[in-house]
Amino acid sequence: MTAAALMRLVEQGVINLDTDVRLLVPEWPDTHPSISLRQLTNHTSGIRDYIIPHEFLSNEQYNNTLEALNIFKNDPLLFIPGSDQSYSTYGWTLLSAAMESAKGKTFKEIVSTEVFEPLGLKRTTFDDAAPIISRRQGAYSFFTGELINSPEVNSSYKYAGGGILSTPKDVVKFALSHLKPGYLQDESIQALFTQSKLSDGTETNIGIGWFLGSQDFLAGYDSEEFEDIRLILRKHPNLLYHTGLSIGSTSVLMLCPDHQRAVTVIKNVDLESSADLIVLSLKTLEIFHRD
């Protein structure tokens, strides 16, 4: 959803993906090499991800995005930007700061006006810790063989990369809006779903925010036990997807442009693997894709 909001700003001419992030966020240390907004979107910035467990379990309230940058902004990069790829939720926190600077609005205002409202996502909001949010589900963790209430956490440091609450219906509605021009222009849709390249020309499996293709899944289900899943994946090589894991939440979104279908599976439990959400998603797609 952050990527969609970003592309709306690109269409409005208020932001350029190849801008050095420091031009928009001067608080980002000048001791770091130049990082473009595009590198933040495709996880080639070199910015680290959470330190597990304590950062992943953070229950600290950050009053604005610039405050959240203090968690990681002075840490060394993992590699020269553009030379490698490593998933980073924090990269999206920095990206959201750049979006705020370019638009002159808070990240919440941007996503509300550019995503939630135009798409009519009435059951989608931000994962704020204190407010009572209607129909917010309880969060559970599976720890040492028992189902327990998840520890209380605060998502204010990662709204852009893991701080949005939604329902499967709203997420599917959001995904389907990417199948043809309308909500986004055709150029934006193509940009979202085009493989990024490293500085040496190597293609990656990430576009702008979205993961592309079924090759990663095939590698993960390479035993005879999963031959039925491998058959499904071979039939749908152009899958677009993203998975998610937070405290008390596991999720999968798959969008199949070849068959104009989307599937979302959300589970309000973490660390529990009896239900494989990727397998459930693929088998659901297969129901709709049968000849």
What is the C-alpha to C-alpha distance for residues 290 and 176, in angstroms, rounded to an integer? 20
Q: If you average pLDDT over residues 47-54, what whole number do you get? A: 92
The 10 Å Cβ neighbour count of residue 101 is 19
The predicted pLDDT at position 235 comes to: 87
What is the C-alpha to C-alpha distance for residues 129 and 149, in angstroms, rounded to an integer? 15
Q: Give how far Cα 138 sits from Cα of 116, 133, 151, 253, Å.
A: 23, 11, 11, 21
Q: Give how far Cα 216 sits from Cα of 72, 130, 224, 278, 279, Å.
A: 29, 38, 17, 12, 13
Q: Which has more confidence, 40 or 218?
A: 40
pTM over 0.85: yes
> What is the set of domains in the chain, with CATH numbers?
1-128+154-195 (3.40.710.10), 213-291 (3.30.160)
- Percent pLDDT > 90 in the chain is 89
> What digits encode the pLDDT tens for the residues 228-274?
999 999 988 999 999 999 999 999 999 999 989 999 999 999 989 88
